Amino acid sequence: MSNDNDSRVYSNRHLWALPNTKKKTATIGISDFLAEELGEIASIDMPLVGDELDMESFCLHLHLSGRIHHLRSPLSGRVLEINDDVQDNSNLIHLDPYKHWLYKMEYDDTEELDLLMSSAQYARFVDQL
């Protein structure tokens, strides 16, 4: 678990969001727990810049060996940027899932952040799995 930034919040689907509350933007990535659970990721289908996402809507599709793992957006809003480096080389996620984020978004509702778990809450959640 990343200890370098305590302001990350986590969904129960193992995505993290690093919010910038002044700009109402967030960087989104996969937790180290999920990265380890999934194993090798062959490729990732990312949302497109400008896509409107609803909290809990499918937005990422990870192509694994013989199957696809679908992930839901942790927040509602618009995609501002995708990480082309990860798009081109999905194995970067396994090197450091907190450094190699997936996309950045402008979120609509700050109250949605309160629905996500703090780092400490997420650590307890993972321990119970």
Residue with the two structure tokens 């793992």: 69
58 neighbors 9 (Cβ within 8 angstroms): no
Q: How confident is the model at residue 5 (pLDDT cuts 50, 70, 90)?
A: low
Q: What is the CATH number of domain 9-117?
A: 2.40.50.100
**What local confidence, expressed as pLDDT, does residue 4 receive?**
47
Per-chain mean pLDDT for the chain: 94
Give the pLDDT confidence of 24-50 residue by residue, as tens digits.
Answer: 999 999 999 999 999 899 999 999 999
Mean pLDDT of 118-122: 96
Every domain of the chain and the residues it spans: 9-117
CA distance 16 to 79: 15
pLDDT above 60 (res 3): no
**What local confidence, expressed as pLDDT, does residue 6 receive?**
74
